[in-house]
Amino acid sequence: MSTQTPQRAPQAPERARGDACCTVRGLVKSHRSGRRGRSTEIRANDGISLEVRRGEIFGLLGPNGAGKSTLVRQLTGLLRPDAGAIDILGHDIVAHPERAARLLGYLGQESTALDELTVALAAETSGRLRGLPVRQARSERDAVLAELGLETLADRPVGRLSGGQRRLACFAAALVGERPLLVLDEPTTGMDPVARRAVWAAVDRRRADHGTTVLLVTHNVIEAETVLDRVAVLDAGRVIACDTPGRLKALVDGRVRLELVWRDQAPAELPPAVAAAASRARIAGRRWTLRTTPEEARELVAVVTAGPAFAALDDFTLATPTLEDAYLELGGREGGLAQ
Ligand SMILES: Nc1ncnc2c1ncn2[C@@H]1O[C@H](COP(=O)(O)OP(=O)(O)OP(=O)(O)O)[C@@H](O)[C@H]1O
């Protein structure tokens, strides 16, 4: 939630460029860590440029520490860039960071600002801070709590809820006082499937009814493939690719992912083709993951299931490529993205 001076959302976007909602050019941000004299500088954003179009669900995907939160905190005006430009609906956010609160609803990773309030008061207060009159703030509060199935938690303090419930309550607060852009930093972390569905349904509704643009931070590949129109893949503070999930996956077209899960561990005596493949596999405990051609995958499955190694096999799966495979193809780190 942004907690800056109460302001109404602008009636019409000013001077917005074409169909861009948010344009970032050459953004650089370093953090200092450690004590004075011994402090080191971490370049969290290293020249990021991207454009989020109006009405799209745009994702920032990348492993821990890639620089996603640093980027969105600059978009929300909470962090000042060292260099670069940010334009949101025609507003220069570097020169006027206070304007971000009028343009976007933000769900950050922390809920501490709301912890002392009840769920209902958190939602109402967000609406008031965004310039809604009391009556409208209360009616929007009631509508959003009903929409997200939060009525039974309305009188509970946000800080005493479970992780998933707290996330949903903060999401509700971000929705009150409708903004043209929603910036959601890992909104569904810790949520059960019912709450996740409620979040995505609420996002879809706003997009359909108000043309809301959504910028979503995630390191969950499945979620990214399901909900995003376009995605920027971040790694070590840089955008290493930006396209639709489908086109990114086309980078690894013609490859499949074969997983072999052994009952205990892989047998000492493996068929030669399988033993040779082991050197290229990612091995995590009993699980071997191999990215290969469909022909080789079929041959390996046939060899394993037809011979004595089959007795040692617990399970196998053969799947089409995911965004994680595309990320690895682009030079990403093995295991950096969550499945
Ligand atoms: N306040 C800070 N002080 C010092 N270093 C920071 C600070 N915030 C972030 N960093 C560092 O900057 C880099 C980028 O962090 P950031 O939180 O932007 O990554 P992220 O992609 O959002 O990661 P995650 O998926 O874990 O949330 C990391 O190396 C992190 O340790």
Q: Say how many domains are in the chain.
A: 2
The C-alpha atoms of residue 86 and residue 155 are separated, in whole angstroms, by 39
> Residue 333 carries which DSSP code?
P
Give Cα 310 distance to the centre of its chain: 39
Check the CA dihedral 15-16-22-24 and report its sign: negative
Q: Please state, in angstroms and rounded to a whole number, the distance separating the CA atoms of residues 43 and 294.
A: 40
Do 238 and 269 fall into the same domain? no
Confidence band for 230, pLDDT divided at 50, 70 and 90: very high
Q: Are residues 311 and 175 both part of a single domain?
A: no
Which of 68, 75, 76, 106 is the pocket-test mutation for ligand 1 (most atoms within 8 Å of CB)? 68
Whether residues 308 and 266 fall in one domain: yes
339 occurs within a structural domain: no
Same domain, 122 and 210: yes
Task: Tell me the pLDDT band of 338, cut-offs 50, 70 and 90.
Answer: low
**Does 209 lie in the same domain as 70?**
yes
Closest CA to 24 of 83, 99, 106, 87: 87
Is the residue at 148 inside a domain?
A: yes
pLDDT above 60 for 256: yes
Find the CATH number of the domain harbouring 74.
3.40.50.300
Looking at the structure, tell me whether residues 181 and 291 fall in a common domain: no
Q: Virtual CA dihedral for 215, 216, 221, 227, nearest 10 degrees?
A: -70
Ramachandran quadrant class, 44 (left: phi over 0; alpha: psi -120 to 50; beta: rest):
alpha
With the most atoms of ligand 1 within 8 angstroms of its CB, the residue from 31, 40, 106, 239 to mutate is 31
Is 33 close to ligand 1, i.e. is its CB under 6 Å away? yes
In a domain, 269, yes or no: yes
CA of 86 to the centre of ligand 1 (A): 20
Residues 27 and 154 in one domain: yes
- Its sign, for the CA torsion 235, 241, 245, 246, is negative
Residue nearest to atom 7 of ligand 1 (CA): 31
Of 7-16, 71-80, 141-150, where does mean pLDDT reach its minimum? 7-16
334 within a domain of the structure (yes/no): no
Is the same domain home to 203 and 79? yes
8: in domain: no
Tell me what the pLDDT averaged over the chain comes to.
Answer: 88
The verdict on 196 and 275 lying in the same domain is no
Residue nearest atom 18 of ligand 1, based on CA coordinates: 67
- Give the integer Cα–Cα distance in Å for 333 and 62: 10
Q: Domain of 264?
A: 254-320
- As a whole number of angstroms, the distance between CA 62 and CA 68 comes to 7
Domain co-membership, 182 together with 65? yes
pLDDT tops 90 at residue 223: no
286 lies in some domain? yes
pLDDT of residue 18: 57
Six token digits for residue 19: 């169909």
